[in-house]
Structure 1
């Protein structure tokens, strides 16, 4: 195994391309094509599930036990719940996020026949009209509405425009990268993870690194609504490393710098042996890192296990402030993660025994104690 140089200019460029491609869960075809085109440019073979999850393949010296590295390319968003008599739209969220982070957002509404720009606003949005009532109005999705930038003032106007219940709304990302290396944007969860995975793949391909076993970069399309990596795996995959965000809120041990390794989330502990292999790589190659546990959090790993996949899972994250809101990360964490992922793909399988779905006791590991 060797540490590979990560092209940070490429990582930043592909991140911006991903961020500027709308992909709320359930409306992800555009970003699927973007990632497929990028894999084609890198000369990496891939295949798609029926719904569009991507399984790429980096050939190794052995075909099994395979390993996988996964990031999701779907994001939070909204859908039209109702057409209102005032010509505005009631919304429901796609994924789990609070309406307070939607207030004031610029958005795109996708109808069956076109797209329209607009904003999400609280029901009482004019200070000159409502005064202190603005500060006193309740929060929640039933207390915001979508104001479409068209000449509409009633239900008939909306129908004439082709707006329907179930139309998707994508939230503008508004990315900004500062001279200090901070990246502010919506939907860094998990488009930053996808950019990290593509940068690691690029480094592996361009340096002609020989992998010990087949490795499958996976890009899933429904993590924000719970199903994530339940698809795209196959039974030869014994290990799966998930890349996602780690919260830097008070009471957490995550950081916006270096790699944050999640030991457990609301679905339970991650695989002891794979998680400690990741920690060992960080220690051996002096990759800055810290450990954390997330109480209100689940990822592609949980979806894979709940779907019945017998696979060892681990989670590595970039520290993110204001998760599921207007998020902030630092490019330092992305570089650390990309280095870590590129090394992990070069690492041998944890256990030769893992090539079999079922096997004898011989070769089965034990935890220290």
Structure 2
């Protein structure tokens, strides 16, 4: 592929794109991990189940808000045996699972009748406090950085392109999904003319992984399989060309909006770019550097030409069929 540089800003009001097809989609999800009321207990506490996949050990001690039909209630998620002065060593020996977690409301609730009086029902949602903290050296500690941080980067990249009056080479659709954590993700709402879909999500910095809290982490594959070779390598090329720090990784226990889009029958190329996150789905931590690098890659990708013009056709001709390097 020939080298490409960002086009100059338009001298007047920007046009949306140079041509309409094939389209692109940039996707981030805005749903978060949480819980729901599973049962009302005789002691005035609430049995809960997880929404999304997160371990109960990260729920213990979490402050939260319960949303009933017409009110909000504050409370704390606690293990069934929460008092060391009462249970002694049993505190450390009790199992760690959602079956051993209960929600204590900050209300006069010591019986089933008290809960019914408050209007609590099975199926009420429970939102977990983020507990966000940003340190002076650039680290961000918080729950729900997956994928609120990705959504923020996408909004920032869109804002930068709009304010620079950049004329994009093709239509681009920002998409914010609300069900990635429970699996359906970008299975709907995609325009059928979309040929390239780039997902923004978190990468896992852990032993055995190549992700980092600095630079962009480009996913080569996840538990569903490899991402599109050509689109992934276009992103790698852009990182090299524009000096964006990056690394590559493969995730074994991970799926994203891209998988949901493919499984729903969408015929498109998918890729995944991530910010490295430590303790994913727990007490998460990232660094500003990864978010800035991700924003840089997004803005140059939005301005780059379509990967293959033949992708605009439902059945592309053999001429121009993409092949791997010789």
TM-score (normalizing by structure 1): 0.85
**Is 1:212 paired with 2:172?**
no
Match of 2:267 in 1: 310
Match of 1:230 in 2: 187
**Is 1:195 paired with 2:199?**
no
Distance 1:128 1:301 in 2: 49
Match of 1:272 in 2: 229
User: Cα offset for 1:122?
Assistant: 0.1
User: Cα offset for 1:361?
Assistant: 1.5
Question: Residues 3 and 285 of structure 1 are in contact (CA less than 8 Å); yes or no, is this contact kept in structure 2?
Answer: no
Question: Residues 3 and 339 of structure 1 are in contact (CA less than 8 Å); yes or no, is this contact kept in structure 2?
Answer: no
Distance 1:321 1:172 in 2: 18
User: Cα offset for 1:117?
Assistant: 0.2
Question: Residues 6 and 304 of structure 2 are in contact (CA less than 8 Å); yes or no, is this contact kept in structure 1?
Answer: no
Aligned length: 317
Q: Deviations along 1:207-251, whole A, 9 cap, x unmatched?
A: 001100001111000000001011120110000110000000000
Match of 2:126 in 1: 169
Distance 1:226 1:146 in 2: 26
Pairing partner for 1:282 from 239, 243, 249: 239
**Is 1:141 paired with 2:98?**
yes
**Is 1:367 paired with 2:324?**
yes
Q: Which has the larger radius of gyration?
A: 2
Structure with greater helix percent: 1
Question: Residues 259 and 287 of structure 1 are in contact (CA less than 8 Å); yes or no, is this contact kept in structure 2?
Answer: yes
Match of 1:356 in 2: 313
Distance 2:288 2:176 in 1: 21
User: Cα offset for 1:359?
Assistant: 2.5
**Is 1:127 paired with 2:131?**
no
Match of 2:65 in 1: 108
Question: Residues 7 and 303 of structure 2 are in contact (CA less than 8 Å); yes or no, is this contact kept in structure 1?
Answer: no
Match of 1:49 in 2: none
Matched residue SS, 1:223:
coil
Match of 1:2 in 2: 6
Match of 1:27 in 2: none
**Is 1:221 paired with 2:178?**
yes
Question: Residues 63 and 214 of structure 1 are in contact (CA less than 8 Å); yes or no, is this contact kept in structure 2?
Answer: yes
Distance 2:16 2:124 in 1: 41
User: Cα offset for 1:2?
Assistant: 2.9
Distance 1:322 1:299 in 2: 17
Question: Residues 7 and 166 of structure 2 are in contact (CA less than 8 Å); yes or no, is this contact kept in structure 1?
Answer: no
Question: Residues 258 and 318 of structure 1 are in contact (CA less than 8 Å); yes or no, is this contact kept in structure 2?
Answer: yes
Distance 2:22 2:319 in 1: 17
RMSD of Structure 2 on Structure 1 (CA): 1.3
Distance 2:189 2:16 in 1: 17
Distance 2:314 2:300 in 1: 26
Question: Residues 186 and 257 of structure 2 are in contact (CA less than 8 Å); yes or no, is this contact kept in structure 1?
Answer: yes
Match of 1:7 in 2: none
Distance 2:289 2:92 in 1: 38
User: Cα offset for 1:150?
Assistant: 0.3
**Unaligned segments of structure 2, at least 5 residues:** 9-14
Match of 1:327 in 2: 284
Provide closer, same or farther for how the CA distance between residues 134 and 66 of structure 1 changes in structure 2, counting only shifts above 3 A. same
User: Cα offset for 1:76?
Assistant: 0.5
Distance 1:2 1:180 in 2: 31
**Is 1:94 paired with 2:51?**
yes
User: Cα offset for 1:3?
Assistant: 9.6
